[in-house]
């Protein structure tokens, strides 16, 4: 009976140790995902503050519109508080909400 109790206590300690370790690994993800309305500006997008430029890391192709909604992702560790240009990875095709007339 003592061996069974010792085995259960040891097993419980291992399980608790693994669960605490999984909580400690949460700081490695610096990717930020966002969906924002932006103004198209010759290969890049301007956010609503008109100073922050989102620069896609892939070729956009031909976009014929003024305003778009984009879903994108960027690495927060590469951006400072004063950054005016942010490299982003587009997660989908930009959705035109204001076509050129």
| pLDDT at residue number 3 | 76
Which domains can be identified in the chain, with CATH numbers? 31-99 (2.40.50.500)
| pLDDT at residue number 61 | 83
Where are any strands of DSSP class E within the chain? 31-41, 44-46, 53-56, 65-75, 85-90, 95-99
Reported pTM: 0.68
pLDDT tens per residue across span 23-74: 555 556 689 999 999 999 888 999 988 889 999 999 888 888 999 999 999 9
**How sure is the predictor about 81, in pLDDT bands with cuts at 50, 70 and 90?**
confident
């Amino acid at each position: 009976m003592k061996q069974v109790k010792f085995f259960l206590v040891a097993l419980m300690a291992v399980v608790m140790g693994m669960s605490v370790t999984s909580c400690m690994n949460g700081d490695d993800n610096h990717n930020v995902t966002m969906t924002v309305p932006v103004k198209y500006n010759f290969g890049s997008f301007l956010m609503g503050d008109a100073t922050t430029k989102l620069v896609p890391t892939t070729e956009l192709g031909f976009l014929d519109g003024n305003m778009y909604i984009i879903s994108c992702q960027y690495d927060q560790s590469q951006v400072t508080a004063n950054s005016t240009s942010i490299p982003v990875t587009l997660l989908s095709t930009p959705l035109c909400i204001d076509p050129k007339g």
